[in-house]
Amino acid sequence: MPQPIDSASSLNELLRNRPDKARVLGTVNGWTSAGELVRKAEGLRKGSFALMRGRIVSLLIGEPEQLFVNLLGLDGLAAGILLSDARVEPSVLRDFEHTAAATLRVDSDTVTATEAPENAVDERSATRWIIPTSGTTGAPKLVAHTWASLTRTMKAPTTASAGLRWGLLYDPSRFAGLQVLLQAMIGESEVIVPVDYRDLASAIPLFASMGCNALSATPSLWRKLAIAGLLDRLELRVATLGGESADQRILDVLKRRFPRATIRHIYASTECGVGFSVADGMAGFPVSLFEKPLGGLRLRVRDDGTLLIKLDRMEQRFISGGHLPQDSAGWVDTGDVVERRGDRYYFLGRATGAINVGGQKVHPSVVEQVILAVPGVQAVRVFGKTNPIVGALVAAEIVAEANHDTVAVKDQVIAACRRLLKRHEVPAFVQFSDRIALSATGKIHR
Amino acid sequence: MSQIRSTIEEVFRQVLLESGKQAATHFPDDLVLLESGIDSLGFAIIVTRLEQELGYDPFILMTEAIYPVTFGEFVSIYERYAPAN
């Protein structure tokens, strides 16, 4: 079991505890040591960051070294750090800053005032880490984490973790990316951050040239790396999968390519933090996880198959725009539906029916509305169909009106979907049937 | 050229055209799939179309844990798992 991290209570403390010359951050410009990062952050605190004491600061993720220095500069000084991707749309950024009450914005080495109204300075509370959720439904929400809630399951350094060099393939402004960065710091590992985590053709050669031996990615991204032949460029000791449920094939592909590596799939959400992880090489998770509390966390499956999580200490909260879907006994509804087969539980998908196409979410109702507007369509059901390459594809089952040629209707449905929907939302399968089955509650079966 | 190979080439051409790309006239064995102008979504669509055309999905049938990287590997997986009759 991971040891709780009681020794360090901030990012600054972690880096100050490292030897001055310890390599911490690898970028296209080479390695930067703990001492260099700490000294640069000190410089900022004495200079332009002095006015950030006790305030909530909006930090745009920019160039990797600047990001580290900015995080270190703000950690322990600001009341909150709101993280956003540098490519975030201006209107979304303004909304985030209003919601989080972030009055100052740091973009690379520039500090500006935001449009959020001036508010009370809070110099007493520990820094909160404010992260956008992936927005399963509607607009992203902001979740404020404490250092404890963010690092709850992270492992204290061991001889093995100290030898790890993580590659970052996630957005560092999101929960998963921050987990990789902070786990690398807590584990006294090193981390390689590419200029653009989306650009695999540049990131993977950079990782390979800097000796990356640990990587965390979604199952969709791992499949993409496999098909692009990029797995062959890496020699990994640790491969972790998260963000989506891992299927047996991708776990087997990784085991075959990296026979001696620890391959772990992680269940986590921005709201609850990391739930649990499984390293036995099999899809799903064992029933035995339910029998004992897992580092302050308990699991339960509701009668309808929804996975519920309960944390002994719940420090994170939505800052606005909602609250955790939690019942009076403290159980949080994860929205994930599971099914028990033998002594394991397997993920079936989201309770909302949302389909994950290669990491992009599709809401069936959006596709159904487009299809229903096509002449000749009487009823439609949109659902996900398992696919070995992208996890799932969109499928549509249609009831045509009498006297309509299904071939013509199908062509029009596809044409309308191509015109009005994003590419991953367009059904890859269209089939016709006489009627659409409804569940006992009158809802369409997903 | 085998029947399977020509069906696969035809479906590649269709999907390339649908995504507004120039359809290649020639698909050499060593063509890296993700450098053929088709992304992983396009590739997933190709696998589903081929299941409709050929009647099987070798990725469901196969037990080896591999993903094809080149066009030649892709074709050979389909040839290997073609129904005997």
Could you report the per-residue pLDDT of A282-319, keeping only the tens digit for each?
A: 999 999 888 876 777 888 999 999 999 888 777 677 77
* Residue A369, pLDDT score: 94
Residue A93 domain flag: yes
Task: Write out residues 356-375 of A within 8 Å (CB-CB) of B.
Answer: 357-358
Per the CB < 8 A criterion, the answer to whether A310 and A189 are in contact is no
Assigned token pair, B83: 């129904």
Mean pLDDT of B69-78: 94
Residue A107 domain flag: yes
pLDDT band (50, 70, 90) for residue A94: very high
Residue A11 domain flag: yes
Residue A377 domain flag: yes
My answer on whether A154 and A268 are in the same domain is yes
Contacts of B64 (CB under 8 A, 6+ apart): none
Question: How many angstroms separate the Cα of B53 from the Cα of each of A84, A194, B11, B50, B57?
Answer: 45, 41, 9, 5, 10
For residue B43, give the nearest of A227, A249, A252 by CB distance. Answer: A227
- Is 50 exceeded by the pLDDT of residue A4? no
Q: Strand A297-301's sheet: what is its strand order? A: A285-286, A344-350, A332-341, A306-311, A297-301
pLDDT band (50, 70, 90) for residue A225: very high
Mean pLDDT of A244-267: 92
The runs of H, that is alpha helices, within A187-319 are 200-209, 219-227, 248-257
My answer on whether A190 and A161 are in the same domain is yes
Cα–Cα distance, A259 to A253 (Å, whole number): 10
For chain A, give the mean pLDDT.
88
| Domains of chain A: total | 2
Residue A96 domain flag: yes
For chain B, give the mean pLDDT.
88
Could you report the per-residue pLDDT of A385-397, keeping only the tens digit for each?
A: 988 888 899 999 9
Could you report the per-residue pLDDT of A257-280, keeping only the tens digit for each?
A: 999 999 999 888 766 777 788 999
- Is 80 exceeded by the pLDDT of residue A320? no
* Residue A406 belongs to domain with CATH number: 3.30.300.30
Cα–Cα distance, A126 to A71 (Å, whole number): 14
Nearest one of A307, A291, A283, A279 to A155, comparing CA atoms: A279
CB contact under 8 A, A423 and B41: yes
Per the CB < 8 A criterion, the answer to whether A261 and A237 are in contact is yes
Q: Say how many C-beta atoms besides its own lie within 10 A of residue A428's C-beta.
A: 22
Task: Write out residues 21-80 of A within 8 Å (CB-CB) of B.
Answer: none
- In chain A, % helix, strand, coil (3-state, to 5) comes to 30, 30, 40
pLDDT band (50, 70, 90) for residue B76: very high
CB contact under 8 A, A228 and B34: yes
B69 inside 8 A of chain A by CB: yes
Nearest one of A28, A95, A2 to A319, comparing CA atoms: A95
pTM of this structure: 0.85
* Residue A38, pLDDT score: 95
My answer on whether A133 and A148 are in the same domain is yes
Among the candidates A294, A318, A352, a domain finishes at A352
- With tokens 């929804």, the residue in question is A306
For an interface test with A, give the residue of B39, B45, B59, B78 to mutate (most A CBs within 10 A): B45
Q: What percent of chain A lies above the pLDDT cut of 70?
A: 93
My answer on whether A144 and A273 are in the same domain is yes
Overall residue count recorded for chain A in this entry:
446
B32 inside 8 A of chain A by CB: yes
Query: B25 vs chain A: nearest CA distance in angstroms?
Result: 22
CA end-to-end span of chain A: 37
For residue A387, give the nearest of B48, B66, B70 by CB distance. Answer: B48
My answer on whether A198 and A213 are in the same domain is yes
* Residue A5, pLDDT score: 43
Nearest residue on chain A to B63, alpha-carbon basis = A249
Among the candidates A327, A352, A377, a domain finishes at A352
Could you report the per-residue pLDDT of A113-154, keeping only the tens digit for each?
A: 998 888 778 877 789 999 987 654 456 788 888 888 888 778
Taking the CA atoms of residue A285, residue A289, residue A293 and residue A294 in that order, the dihedral angle to the nearest 10 degrees is -40
My answer on whether A171 and A139 are in the same domain is yes
A390 inside 8 A of chain B by CB: yes
**ipTM for the assembly:** 0.85
* Residue A249 belongs to domain with CATH number: 3.40.50.12780
- With tokens 């950024």, the residue in question is A93
* Residue A1, pLDDT score: 40
My answer on whether A401 and A347 are in the same domain is no
Contacts of B34 (CB under 8 A, 6+ apart): A224, A227, A228, B40, B43
My answer on whether A142 and A244 are in the same domain is yes
Cα–Cα distance, B66 to A257 (Å, whole number): 9
Give the residue numbers spanning the domain of A110: 1-352
Among the candidates A352, A377, A392, a domain finishes at A352
pLDDT band (50, 70, 90) for residue A2: very low
My answer on whether A74 and A208 are in the same domain is yes
Query: A408 vs chain B: nearest CA distance in angstroms?
Result: 18
Please list the residues that pair with A267 across neighbouring strands: A276
Residue A404 domain flag: yes
Residue A115 domain flag: yes
My answer on whether A314 and A413 are in the same domain is no
* Residue A415, pLDDT score: 94
For residue A229, give the nearest of B48, B65, B69 by CB distance. Answer: B69
My answer on whether A340 and A420 are in the same domain is no
Q: What percent of chain A lies above the pLDDT cut of 90?
A: 57
My answer on whether A63 and A200 are in the same domain is yes
CB contact under 8 A, B40 and A358: yes
